[in-house]
Amino acid sequence: MTATTVETLEPEAVRAARPAPTRIPMSRIMGVELRKSFDTRSGFWLMASIGILAVIATSATILFAPDDELTYESFATAIGFPMAVLLPIIAALSVTSEWSQRTGLTSFTLVPHRGRVIVAKLGVTIGVGVVSMLVAAAIGALGNVVGTAITGTDTVWNVSVAELAYIILASVLGMLVGFTLGVLMRSSAAAVVGYFVYGFALPPLSMMLAASQDWWDRLQPWVDFYYAQGSLYEGQVSGTEWAHLGVAGLIWLVVPLTIGLWSVLRSEVK
């Protein structure tokens, strides 16, 4: 009988023979998350509704607004309301879809670092918000030109670039609230209802409390994030108002989003 010796590879050689796979770049993850927003039929029509609602609001302004009120501010205001409702819902659904449609197991298996997936979703959300508002602003500008041409009045551009930038920032902040609710709740229905409570139920209650209680009237700008964003729509933001926005944003965005991310990174994905 002859003895056969088997050479064992050194650990370094084994590691050299089986290199670690290359990390998926963030740009590719963001590209995938962007495609998720359009790939499904519901996602496509949800995104298309941004332009559809902007056209409807512009047409309604041309048809029903008095001739002397056909200004760019009127069109921007008309378009701003449906955008304020729709964009945060899109942001919330971009997160909750992983759980409601049960795609999270696939996403977090392909990219085990869940934080990178959430960051990619956040980047896509901000990008969609900015582009959507620019498209809506362009539709409003076209409506301003067409509307004044039909009525024979002068075209008035009474919204400056800075004011438009503030409006876009306010819309992005609204989307971030929806995104935060999505990360916290991870349920589409709960996140949407939560945003409607935040955007339409709490502000009137806060205003009523401020009108009757001096202590809340003084505290409201610091803790009411919806109220603090009002200065952005006015087109002029002072240093104090930036401080109000920052403190209220810390309470309503940073802290809840941190808690939500902590929960997402540690919860079981089914």
10 Å Cβ neighbour count for 83? 25
Q: Is the pLDDT of residue 9 over 60?
A: no
Helix or strand holding residue 137 (H, E): helix 114-151
Length of the chain counted residue by residue: 270
Is 12 contained in some domain? no
Is 191 contained in some domain? yes
- Whole-model pTM: value is 0.86
Structural domains in the chain (count): 1
List, as one string, the DSSP characters of 251-269. IIIIHHHHHHHHHHHHSPP
Residue 10: predicted pLDDT: 53
Question: What is the identity of the amino acid at 32?
Answer: V
The residue ranking higher by pLDDT, 236 or 218, is 218
Find all residues with CB under 8 Å of 228, minimum gap 6, and list them.
221, 222, 241, 244, 245, 248, 249
Is 109 contained in some domain? yes
Task: Give the residue-averaged pLDDT of 53-81.
Answer: 89
The residue ranking higher by pLDDT, 93 or 100, is 93
Task: Give the residue-averaged pLDDT of 125-135.
Answer: 91
Is 8 contained in some domain? no
Find all residues with CB under 8 Å of 22, minimum gap 6, and list them.
none
Is 16 contained in some domain? no
Is 149 contained in some domain? yes
Rounded CA-CA distance 165/236 in Å is: 11
Task: Supply the DSSP symbol for 230.
Answer: H
Is 223 contained in some domain? yes
The residue ranking higher by pLDDT, 204 or 10, is 204
**Token pair listed for 178:** 């929806």
Counting beta carbons within 10 angstroms of the beta carbon of residue 1, is it exposed (0 to 12), middle (13 to 18) or buried (19 or more)? exposed
Find all residues with CB under 8 Å of 95, minimum gap 6, and list them.
118, 121, 179, 182, 183, 186, 191
**Token pair listed for 120:** 């990619």
The residue ranking higher by pLDDT, 13 or 50, is 50
pLDDT digits (tens, 9 = 90+) for 33-58: 888 888 777 778 888 888 899 999 99
Residue 69: predicted pLDDT: 84
Is 178 contained in some domain? yes
pLDDT bracket for residue 1 (50, 70, 90): very low
Structural domain of 125: 23-266
